[in-house]
Amino acid sequence: MRPEHFEGTTDPMIAEKWIYKMEKVFEGIRCPEDCRISLAVTVMDGMADDWWTEHRRLFFSGRSIDSITWEEFLKAFREKYVPLLARDKFRKELTHLVQRDMTVTEYEAKFTALAKFSPALVPNEEEKCHLFCTGLRHSIRAAVVSFQHVVFSKLVETAVVVEQDQLEGQARREAIGKRKAMTFKTYQGPASKRSSSNGASTFASTSGSSGRPRCQICGNLHGGVCRVGNRTCFNCGEVGHLYKVCPRKMTAKGEESVPTSIASASGGRDGIAGVLGWECNTATRFGERGAQPRVYALTHQEAQESPDVIAGMLSLNDSPVVVLFDSGASHSFISKSIIQKLQLETCPLDEVLHVALPTGITIEVKLFVKVKIKIKDQEFWAELIVVPIIEFDVILGINWLSDNQVIINC
């Protein structure tokens, strides 16, 4: 570990950075207190060496270099290279520092650099967290303030996770907006005659060759109530599953017994989310169970367009997690990865579940956890079944939503 040479500068940041690096060297080689100045002055060259020689002659005359403390050296060094005017400027800049268009990582780096010049503003971790949180972008600050972090590294980690979650959510909304815009243009084609009233264009309720009216919601030709976007099966008309996993359709094809209770877990980095279900035979603490649970395929697009799911950041046992609220899920689940990350204690289920994944692999589900979930200032308990979720850490289904009288308002 070689110390960096210093020749003097007019930039206070460079001077402070040299001090920081020297102190890292002292710690790395376990340099005794009375030897620190001797090592520091050996790497001071040019104008910096001239300054120290003259300053020592004027202010430390008759004292050996070993008797001069590091604090005395720092005070003299900063008076020369980090003057009071510059320190006042940095203090004001730190006080008024806000994130704006910076990333959380960029904001943290600038905050930390300025904090070195203003120890009075950040005398401890709690004050440092408070000042840092004050300058965060409003949407991020609103999400992290409920965690009440007093450890700076934890606060920064949470802010980074929230920022990433918001960016992904924005990207999903923009993608949905583009798809809806393209669909709207498609409906404006030759088959869709439009009428205008007071300058506003609307779809006319014209009929096609089949004699059925054109729907004002989806633009297709059909009668009755439109089922687009209300999580209703297009085959049987029942709520809680999609056409591709309709029990009546699958029974008609001669397949094995089908699930009557559906639990959806939307999301997935590979564009797929699981839908878990089982026949209702034997009652357990987690609902009805009997036949082998199966995981069906649900496209990411279907999950994004669903009106009764919402994702966000919450606190689970005082740690930030990505949560999906899904009123179409009959039960609540937690990811194996977050169990390991947070070192949560698991409990055995009353009965082992054998879950078939879309890949054809069958896994055993044996465990659940009891955790504390915090939403703003309110705390809730939840019993979550451990399954291999990919994109979300926790899925809160209808059992948890109904127990706590939660209504999803998208």
> pLDDT 10s digit of each residue in the chain, 410 long?
688 999 999 998 899 889 989 999 999 999 998 899 999 999 999 999 999 999 999 999 878 888 999 999 999 998 999 888 888 888 899 999 999 999 999 999 999 988 887 888 888 999 999 999 999 999 899 888 878 889 999 999 999 999 998 888 888 878 777 766 655 454 444 444 444 444 433 333 444 444 556 676 666 655 566 665 555 665 566 666 665 556 665 444 444 333 333 333 333 333 333 333 333 333 345 544 444 444 433 434 445 555 556 777 888 888 888 888 877 666 788 888 889 888 899 999 888 877 655 445 667 788 999 999 988 778 889 998 888 876 778 888 877 887 887 766 65
On whether both 250 and 114 belong to a single domain, the answer is: no
Segments in 60-145 forming alpha helices (H):
70-81, 84-95, 104-115, 125-134, 138-144
Query: Residue 153 and residue 406: Cα distance in Å, rounded?
Result: 33
Would residue 178 count as lying in a domain? no
Would residue 149 count as lying in a domain? yes
Would residue 147 count as lying in a domain? yes
pLDDT of 393: 85
Three-state DSSP class for residue 128: helix
pLDDT of 55: 94
Closest by Cα among 236, 307, 311, 244 to 275: 244
Query: Residue 93 and residue 18: Cα distance in Å, rounded?
Result: 21
On whether both 247 and 222 belong to a single domain, the answer is: no
249 strand-pairing partners: none
Sequence-ordered strand ranges (E) for 376-409: 378-387, 394-396
97 strand-pairing partners: none
**303: domain CATH number?**
2.40.70.10
pLDDT of 118: 80
> What is the span of the domain harbouring residue 207?
203-230
pLDDT of 267: 36
pLDDT of 258: 31
Would residue 186 count as lying in a domain? no
Q: What is the 3-state secondary structure (H, E, C) of 43-66?
A: CECHHHHHHHHHHHHHHCCCCCHH
On whether both 362 and 321 belong to a single domain, the answer is: yes
Element (H, E) at 12: helix 12-29
Query: Residue 330 and residue 30: Cα distance in Å, rounded?
Result: 59
Q: Which residue has the tokens 């009891």?
A: 370
On whether both 263 and 362 belong to a single domain, the answer is: yes
On whether both 318 and 383 belong to a single domain, the answer is: yes
How far lies 284's CA from each of 120, 258, 287, 290, 300, in Å?
A: 58, 19, 5, 10, 31
Query: Residue 190 and residue 395: Cα distance in Å, rounded?
Result: 44
How far lies 366's CA from each of 94, 329, 361, in Å?
A: 52, 19, 16
Would residue 253 count as lying in a domain? yes
On whether both 269 and 338 belong to a single domain, the answer is: yes
On whether both 262 and 350 belong to a single domain, the answer is: yes
How far lies 38's CA from each of 2, 9, 22, 197, in Å?
A: 15, 21, 12, 87
**pTM of the predicted structure, to 2 decimals:** 0.42
Structurally, the chain folds into a number of domains equal to: 4
On whether both 221 and 369 belong to a single domain, the answer is: no
The answer to whether 369 touches 384, Cβ cutoff 8 Å, is yes
On whether both 301 and 372 belong to a single domain, the answer is: yes
Closest by Cα among 63, 54, 133, 124 to 98: 133
Neighbour tally for 364: CB within 10 Å: 10
In the structure encoding, which two tokens stand for residue 391, read together? Answer: 């994109």
Closest by Cα among 31, 33, 44, 38 to 4: 44
